[in-house]
Amino acid sequence: MILVLPALARPLLEPHLPADAETRWFATAEDAYAMSPGAEIGWLDMQTPSHTGRAVELGEDLKLVTTIYAGINAFPLAAMKARGTKLTNGVGINTNAVAEYAVLGMLALAKGYGDVVRAQDRHEWLRDSPGKVELQDSRALIIGYGAIGRRIGEILGGFGVHVTGVRRSPSGEPDMLGPNDWRPRLGDFDWVIVAAPATSETAHLIGAAELAAMKPSAFLINIARGTLIDQDALIDALKSRRIAGAHLDVTDPEPLPADHPLWDAPNAVITMHLSGRAQTRMFQRAAKLFLDNLARYRAGEPLINEVDLDLGY
């Protein structure tokens, strides 16, 4: 059995790998491209998603691929399905860190904290708060009530926010809407939080019509993927004050070019896809999950976080 794994995780993985495994440790995209052909199992995450996808494409013999990330839009899902390759994702690894970042963005918008920081940079003592919104008694819609969405809801409950979730199959749960039920309700909410997976069905999930349906005093939060929001429509909505503001941990593309108009959109807080990295235990959690799934794979047992390659999550 040949494994191709990230050199960054070597200290966490190597002492626990099976004695009969041949392990290839990659440090660069070129290493991954050269090492993935012939491998049976791969953890091929790289900072540039297209590099990860290319390494998986080249690994025609891969039977199991794992990723630290929850979103799997970098992977060639059709080719993987045709080969019979299994894919497991990192749901749960970054759940709390991403959820905390979403709430951080909400608080920053509510209190105008960006203006506070800029005033400090100018050594200016503000006489009044630039933001006066309170989270208590506000209403939040969380589109995508999986692990991260649910954790956001739990945290917001402590702030006194009334939370409504959106799931593919709500199953009669209280305060839960189905995928066809939330759009007519957009005007009910002070916060619209996007936490759904990036699939062909969710591309531009929030567009001009959805932004127009929101309250002018409402805020948009996106901690999912940049493709879920029509950015041109969002820029227009922010410039015309059709919504109050947006926190965007993700953009399309990433990195966002320095001259992109989104940087200068009024009351937009952009946090450069840092949410999942705002922790110290990501690799430890990912290594444990990989080792658990490796043992399950060798024993022929069900895998943790196996992705449905047809649904894309």
Q: How far apart are CA 256 and CA 238, in angstroms?
A: 18
What is the token pair recorded at 96?
Answer: 């709390």
Judge whether 196 and 144 are in contact, CB under 8 Å.
Answer: yes
Neighbour count for residue 189 (Cβ, 10 Å): 21
The catalytic site residues sit at 225, 254, 273
Strands, E assignment, the chain: 2-6, 22-26, 41-43, 64-66, 86-88, 139-143, 162-166, 176-177, 191-194, 219-222, 245-248, 268-270
- For residue 45, with 0-12 CB atoms within 10 Å meaning exposed, 13-18 middle and 19 or more buried, which class applies? buried
CA atoms within 13 A on the CB side of 106: 28
CA atoms within 13 A on the CB side of 38: 6
Q: Return all residues near 177 (Cβ < 8 A) that are at least 6 apart.
A: 141, 164, 165, 166, 167, 170, 185
Map residue 54 onto helix, strand or coil.
helix
Angle at 246 between CA 169 and CA 238, to 5 degrees: 120
What is the token pair recorded at 89?
Answer: 């994702």
Q: How far apart are CA 13 and CA 288, in angstroms?
A: 8
Starting at the earlier edge strand, list the strands of the sheet with 64-66: 22-26, 2-6, 41-43, 64-66, 86-88
Judge whether 44 and 52 are in contact, CB under 8 Å.
Answer: yes
